[in-house]
Chains A and B, each alone.
Chain A
């Protein structure tokens, strides 16, 4: 007997989301982001989302579309273009009502706490910095155990980053929800999954379970089906972020995105051309644009 099949469409995934939800987005900055799912959210009428992300264009796009009520992040960057233009505009125009800028390590710790069903975990990051001043909800906790010098240290009690939904993009998955990354870094996708009530995995290719480890070390299987609610095949679905080794970042397109985003007229044209249709239309428009550039 095989475990149940969880394969679904992009629209079915978005149909499971609700306004007001807390959504964690996997990947890292401009790397292995579930962009096809993000684009589907842009097309939806979802609003008032709390977004938890190591931010890249996912955050810029969702902010621009007015989808974000609250943003939890430690950075937003496109790497080869350091500052994300749409996120910058959103901050400078104050269009995201609630901002939680944390330290990167705190973010990791918050996901760990949520994945372990703990209310918080202690750490040093944040002490002395404006992360505590700008996030007055963050509390300190006094260690019940003395340090070697007898001090009872006061540490940051990082609250669990509990998520309603996690969206991640992997290289391969089976229809049951086992999934592997083939690139250099797992990022934190398993922690996002374990911190969430529902987990949707988009992937480059759905394969048989046996195919997941036939030519790949088993250690690359990051997600187990216990963690996963739904699987959707979205080839090139991380575009324009990396999905190594299936493809690298589309630097030309990213540059086009950033330049367009910096100018209202160019941005309207970009949205019309690339973001006004469904995912197939997006991929076709990108293919056309790429041909024009050649």
Chain B
């Protein structure tokens, strides 16, 4: 599969750069809330959103400071506009003015996410991080997921452990669970999805340039709404970043090309 695409002016754009813009787009209509990324690509996308579509976004250094500027990934030293130690993150989660983009070891048809363990919870084949903040995030504030390598092992029929709660389970758990449940986007190396398919299922919104629907099907362990048996022509293509966005990604935010570690070219 090709992981590079060209703009009309002939510039080579990497798949990682398409992903960064797609992550940024997930935060474009959030307004003045805490954009809270877990991992390199979400951090790159959130900072790109702040420099382009959503300058009101509140961002942090990933440790304990709200940043007044938009420094490169992992750069030290910036204007500080606030203090956000771990305990205050939980305050903001409950307050609701937050959009987190987390990773996912597994995601299922109904948008449930697992970062806890693979296999039987009592004696897992592989213990992962633990549920971390996923159960609380998903019933309190807007939540998106980033998947660096979509495959049938990640997009599974049913997750082994429900850490992040999808809309269907939230609804079944009652109004306290569903009131603020808002699973917004799933961005992968192949495409962009939401959970607005029939019966609150994962639905394809766009495939990245150079990705075929067959590739998406082969990388999914469940049937994805909007994919069906349609041809490539029926589905929209993820937009490529503008020249200004490419400059920001390459020259300002990620000059060390950390994005390539997440989604390698070719």
Which residues of A are in contact with B by a Cβ distance under 8 Å?
A: 28, 55, 73-77, 82-83, 87-88, 91-94, 99, 101-106, 108, 123-131, 133-134, 143, 147, 149, 151, 153-155, 184-188
Contacts and interface: CB of A to CB of B under 8 A. Distances in A.
Nearest to A185: B85
B126 interface: yes
Interface string B122-160: 111111111111111011100000000000000000000
Nearest to A133: B162
Given A108-B90, A186-B87, A124 B127 contact: no
Contacts of B218: none
B161 A124 contact: no
A154 B129 CA distance: 28
B93 interface: yes
Interface in B21-68: 63-65
A185 B85 CA distance: 5
Contacts of A155: 176
Given A91-B124, A184-B63, A124 B129 contact: no
5 contacts: A28-B86, A74-B133, A87-B127, A88-B127, A128-B165
Contacts of A134: 121, 161
Contacts of B170: 127-128
Given A105-B133, A125-B140, A185-B64, A88 B126 contact: yes
A105 B127 contact: no
B175 to A, nearest CB: 5
B139 A125 contact: yes
B146 to A, nearest CB: 15
A94 B212 CA distance: 43
Contacts of B176: 124, 127, 143, 153-155
Given A91-B117, A103-B131, A127-B173, A187 B126 contact: no
Interface string B98-123: 00000000000000000011000111
A123 B93 CA distance: 11
Given A92-B123, A130-B161, A151-B175, A83 B128 contact: yes
Contacts of A185: 63-64, 85-86
B161 A105 contact: no
Closest 6 CB pairs of A and B: A125-B136, A128-B173, A127-B177, A91-B127, A75-B130, A153-B176
Contacts of B128: 83
A126 B94 CA distance: 13
B172 A74 contact: no
B64 A128 contact: no
B141 to A, nearest CB: 10
B162 A130 contact: yes
Interface string B158-183: 00011111000110111111011100
A125 B163 CA distance: 10
A101 B160 CA distance: 15
Contacts of B135: 103, 106, 125-129, 131
Contacts of A131: 131, 135
Contacts of B117: 91
Nearest to B160: A130
Contact of A127 (B65, B116, B130, B139): B139
B265 to A, nearest CB: 24
B143 to A, nearest CB: 12
B162 A74 contact: no
B67 to A, nearest CB: 13
Nearest to B178: A128
Nearest to A184: B64
Contacts of A124: 94, 136, 139-140, 176-177, 180
Contact of B65 (A74, A92, A105, A184): A184
Given A75-B132, A128-B172, A129-B163, 14 more contacts: A74-B133, A75-B129, A75-B130, A91-B127, A92-B124, A92-B126, A92-B127, A105-B136, A127-B170, A127-B174, A128-B135, A128-B138, A129-B138, A131-B135
